Amino acid sequence: MTSTPAPTIGVLALQGDVREHASALESAGARAVPVRRAAELATVDGIVLPGGESTTIEKLLRVFELFEPLQAAVRDGLPAFGSCAGMILLADRLEGGAHGQRTLGGLDVTVRRNAFGRQVDSFETDLVVDGVPDSAQDPVHAVFIRAPWVEQAGPDVRVLATVGTGPAAGRIVAVRQRDVLATSFHPEISGDHRLHHLFVQIVTDRG
């Protein structure tokens, strides 16, 4: 029997929860490598865009001359997983962005930045996530920190999770379009690696 080699997944390492994503990916069976340069991007089978501050990450992408290469790679089908600021970066359309803020795009969604309110309004909740086995019985614990939500999703976008209760009930917080996955929340800090497993599976299935 032959076993599939572990896919190599890059973690955009300009700002944010890089280490946490890398260790979640390793737990989910991938080889995780930091990506700061176009040459490094060219070696990966998939890429994670961590949370942080989307305006800062956009600036750093330009400083590191990675904005265009990353945009092109995602457009050409490189599997990508964005959490929080990473979701903002993957959105084709942005509401509530900073003046002149641009996104890489790749997901046919409109994302509202800082949708849930300010830092003090950050919150945690349990979610059923389509594609995460057993999450109806054993929900995904989701941590939202100045998070965006998906305001509108195009016809090819699958909504994977919505908030169940509270003032944000019904808001879309996880989506997938082909091999691009995005969550409003931070799956890397909860110790539950099922979303990273899902992404590793997406990357493996593609290869």
Q: Applying CB under 6 A, which residues contact ligand GLN?
A: 51-54, 84-85, 88, 113-114, 145-146
Q: Which is nearer to ligand GLN, 160 or 182 (CB)?
A: 182
Q: Which is nearer to ligand GLN, 52 or 106 (CB)?
A: 52
Please check whether residue 146 is in contact with residue 53, taking contact to mean a CB–CB distance below 8 angstroms.
no
Handedness of CA 122, 84, 176, 191 (dihedral sign): negative
Nearest approach in angstroms of CB 206 to ligand GLN is: 26
Handedness of CA 184, 202, 159, 151 (dihedral sign): positive
Nearest approach in angstroms of CB 155 to ligand GLN is: 26
Which stretch of DSSP H or E encloses residue 82? Answer: strand 80-83
Q: Provide the residue type at 3 as one letter.
A: S
Listed residue (137, 135, 204, 207) closest to 183, CA to CA: 135
CA 75 – CA 18 distance, rounded (Å): 23
84 is catalytic: yes
In the set 186, 193, 196, 197, the catalytic residue is 186
* Tokens 């919505």, located at residue: 162
Please check whether residue 61 is in contact with residue 91, taking contact to mean a CB–CB distance below 8 angstroms.
no
Q: Which is nearer to ligand GLN, 100 or 155 (CB)?
A: 100
53 is catalytic: no
In the set 20, 58, 188, 193, the catalytic residue is 188
186 is catalytic: yes
* Tokens 């997901």, located at residue: 107
Nearest approach in angstroms of CB 60 to ligand GLN is: 12
In the set 21, 58, 84, 193, the catalytic residue is 84
Catalytic residues: 84, 186, 188
